[in-house]
Each structure stands twice: as C-alpha cells, then as structure tokens.
Amino acid sequence: MNNVMIITGGSRGIGAATARLAANRGYAVAINYRSAGNAAEALVKEINGSGGMAIAVQADVSNEADIVRLFDRATSELGPVTALVNNAGILEQQMPLVEMSVERVDRIFATNVRGAFLCLREAVRRMSTAKGGQGGAIVNVSSRAALLGAPNEYIDYAATKGALDTMTIGLSKEVAGEGIRVNGVRPGFIKTEMHASGGEPGRVDRVKSGVPLQRGGEPEEVAEAILWLLSDEASYSTGTFIDVSGGR
C-alpha cells in the first residue's frame, strides 16, 4: 500500500522541495496548485521520470468544492491519503497595518486560514480510524512570523499563521485517539519566490545579517523537517513545532 501525500501549494518553493523529497522516500504525491500549472506539471514529469509517482491537481484552497475534489482525486488516482502538508499560503505587498484594505485581509485569510481549515477537515474525514480510515499524519506549514508579528510588512500574514498554529494545537488533541498526528513547522527567511509577492525579491539577503546563522534557509531544509514530522521516527510527536529559522 502506498503512502499517499497531498501537498497544497506544491508547485514551487517549500512545497516543491517537499514533493521531491517525499517522492524520493516512497510517497505517491498529489501536487496541488492554484495557477502555476506549468510548474506543477514540470515537477510531476520530473518525479515520475525519476521512478516516483506524482499527479498535479488544480484547486483553489479557499474554495470548499475544490478542496473536496482535490482529496477525491488524490484518493481515486493514488490511494487513501495518509499525509497532508498544508503548505499553500499567500502574502501581499509590504505595508503597515494602518494602510491595509479589508479586501486584502479577506484574501489573505481566505487562503491561509479558511483554506487550511478545509484541508484539515477533509484530511481528518478520510484518515480518522474512527471514521474507517487508516490514520495518518499532518504537517501545517506556519511561519516564524506567527511569533514575531512581521511589523510594517505582513501583520495580516503573521496573524493567519498564528491562527494556523492554534489549529495545529487544537486539532492534534482532537484526533490523537483517531490515529492522526498533527504538527507544524515554522520557516524563517527561506529563499523562495514568495518574497517577490511582497515586493522585495531580495528580502532574504537584506535581513540575513540579523539571523544567528548569518544566512537564509533553503526550501530543502524545511522539507527535511516536514518529512521527519510525517515519518514514524516522529511517532510520539503531535501538537508540536519545529522552527527552521537559523536561530531567529
């Protein structure tokens, strides 16, 4: 029986690094994307060409019907889902809270909070041993911003990651007796394309001197933490977090 993983926002950055590592370790991987179809299909081709098993599934995680379809397709094409990496997340232009519009806040929360909630719900419905599932593991990809607040840049984004941390803790307790572990990772300044969405592609280089390890992180370093939390090696860990942030 395959270990089957869904990775939301899996076409680039941390999601793509996680997909590669997961496939290398024997997971069949459903790579979710919202709009980066070419990148997702290229990643699927790369994984399948290396002997792995992957599919790409378009879905907007803020849309309930899309999420149900994502889980149904992953199950029908790959098998019962045993792992979820709740990675999809967005941010917008850097600015102080006082300048943020309600429309911006709604967009950020729709993807980063409602989307994560819907994915968690669908995962539990399918994994829970109390509902006929075989159990599984979930990793929520949060951010050090949840603890640091991201002042003058992304307070709204930081707030969504704080909400995700709270869901991680609460759900881990709800489903601990149903064969499901729920943990989180909090990346710091990682070299991904997300910084360009905030208007500063070179942000990691600007801030790295304030990181004790004096550098930005690589997506692969976050992926290693995610795969450990999903593995049997972490079998006694639930409701906990790994900070992958260079000490900051």
* CA nearest to 110, candidates 143, 56, 168, 66: 66
For range 221-230, the mean pLDDT: 98
Tally of domains in the chain = 1
For range 239-245, the mean pLDDT: 97
**From 27, 33, 154, 157, the catalytic residue:** 157
71 pLDDT more than 60: yes
The predicted pLDDT at position 101 comes to 98
Residue 247 carries which side chain, given as an amino acid letter?
Answer: G
The predicted pLDDT at position 196 comes to 58
27 catalytic? Reply is: no
198 pLDDT more than 80: no
**Which residue range is the domain that position 156 belongs to?**
3-244
Q: What is the CATH number of the domain that holds 13?
A: 3.40.50.720
197 pLDDT more than 70: no
1 pLDDT more than 70: no
**Alpha-carbon gap, residue 51 to 48, rounded angstroms:** 5
For range 28-45, the mean pLDDT: 97
User: In Å, how far are 40, 77, 116, 129, 171 from 121, measured between CA atoms?
Assistant: 24, 20, 9, 14, 10
The predicted pLDDT at position 199 comes to 66
The predicted pLDDT at position 201 comes to 75
The predicted pLDDT at position 228 comes to 98
The predicted pLDDT at position 194 comes to 64
User: In Å, how far are 109, 110, 111, 149, 204 from 104, measured between CA atoms?
Assistant: 9, 10, 11, 17, 24
